[in-house]
Structure 1
């Protein structure tokens, strides 16, 4: 529907004389006016994340090519010297395991749970391969397997507690140190068990003694530390 620009009445179509004043009505592009009326302002977008992603992709591709060259070179040197693959199996397995960690570090997996499980599986494959290359499994199942499984479970549990309880600030650091202490005692238990030196009572006492300072520090920070010091530390470390 068009309007006469002279007398203002509605007319059936544009680009024709007005029936009232005979003024010639100019042609109007209604679709263009509708688009302009909808898009009054330009679409805002932050180009920095996309630019950063492109840069990271290029760096990761370059590092992946270096890893591929290193693996091929190590295999070639080993085979040239020994007419078979000996030490290169250990080296290349470690290089590939490091490449997997690099893949997770570049943000290609967004879920923190998937990152933890992926790194845990990567450690399983690495340690299993290093043990089996000797011709027999000696230390993987009694030592490496429970340690990696425990570290994975503790990491997932820590992140789940942080999210479920909405833990922030100093409490987050306290929970982190508690998880580190539990993990260290878990590792210590299986190392002593592998060496046939495990004493459950002594292990329990040492665990309590290591957890006690962390608990005391958390209690002091929660109830004894002045609020102004808390605020300074929070601003300093962005807690």
Structure 2
């Protein structure tokens, strides 16, 4: 359907003279929908720029690590004709490089980060104890402490997500996790020193939990609401 551009009368078909004024009416394609103007898609370039900067820093650090490890092996072999002290230093440097990989955000999952750092720590401690001509402290101390730390960290994050914990409760659960970890470490250190006494361990454990529990109860029920809100705004809780 078209209109005469001269007199404005509506005509039945296009490309024909107007029946009123005989003006030639141009053909109009009615199937083409009018294009609607859209707002440009908003995009924040800062994350991509930050990612590129971090990638460059990590590549540079990786090259430094490779050069440092190679130099330490070469110097150690030239001086001692064997790899002695360079084993300890290079293993520590490579472990630090692995932890740096997780710290630069290449792994997004919290669980994978915890497991990855725990595995790197276990490999580092196993190597250091093995280079010392024996496994003296890796099995009774290092392995259970590192594994326990990883398990407690995973459980803490799982509880936070499952219960949708927010605000001061996050800090409360964190202190509980730290106390449990301290108990775990204390138990294996005492066992390694042959000083494990179950009753004493339970008493020490209770004394550790008591102040944390009292602080949590006071924050939950005794702290004024305005102070809670002020602290929450201050620390973005």
Measured at CA, do residues 192 and 75 of structure 1 come closer, stay the same or move farther in structure 2, by a change above 3 Å? Answer: same
Return the alpha-carbon distance in structure 1 between the equivalents of residues 221 and 69 of structure 2: 55
Look up the match of 1:168: 166
Give the CA deviation at 1:154.
0.4
Q: Does 1:139 align with 2:140?
A: no
RMSD across aligned C-alpha pairs, in angstroms?
A: 2.2
3-state SS in 2 of match to 1:55: helix
Measured at CA, do residues 182 and 18 of structure 1 come closer, stay the same or move farther in structure 2, by a change above 3 Å? Answer: same
Return the alpha-carbon distance in structure 2 between the equivalents of residues 154 and 102 of structure 1: 22
Give the CA deviation at 1:22.
5.4
Look up the match of 1:207: 205
- Superposed CA deviations along residues 2-34 of structure 1, whole A, max 9, x for unmatched, are 85662564656xxxx435455363797x87x76
Return the alpha-carbon distance in structure 1 between the equivalents of residues 2 and 123 of structure 2: 76
3-state SS in 2 of match to 1:138: coil
With 213-222 and 99-108 compared, the bigger mean Cα shift is at 99-108
Return the alpha-carbon distance in structure 2 between the equivalents of residues 92 and 70 of structure 1: 8
Look up the match of 1:80: 78
Look up the match of 1:48: 46
Look up the match of 1:128: 126
The runs of 5 or more residues in structure 2 that have no matched partner are none
Q: Conserved in 1, the CA contact under 8 Å of 2:17 and 2:25?
A: no
- Superposed CA deviations along residues 82-112 of structure 1, whole A, max 9, x for unmatched, are 1111111111111111111111111111111
Return the alpha-carbon distance in structure 2 between the equivalents of residues 3 and 111 of structure 1: 61
Q: Conserved in 1, the CA contact under 8 Å of 2:76 and 2:82?
A: yes
Q: Conserved in 2, the CA contact under 8 Å of 1:4 and 1:11?
A: no
Give the CA deviation at 1:122.
0.8
Measured at CA, do residues 4 and 56 of structure 1 come closer, stay the same or move farther in structure 2, by a change above 3 Å? Answer: farther
- Superposed CA deviations along residues 54-82 of structure 1, whole A, max 9, x for unmatched, are 11111111111111111111111111111
**TM-score normalised by L of structure 1:** 0.88
Return the alpha-carbon distance in structure 2 between the equivalents of residues 219 and 125 of structure 1: 41
Q: Conserved in 2, the CA contact under 8 Å of 1:151 and 1:183?
A: yes
3-state SS in 2 of match to 1:40: coil
Matches within 5 A, 1:48-197: 48-197=46-195
| Structure 1 outlier segments of 4+, above 6 Å | none
Give the CA deviation at 1:40.
2.4
Look up the match of 1:23: 24
3-state SS in 2 of match to 1:107: coil
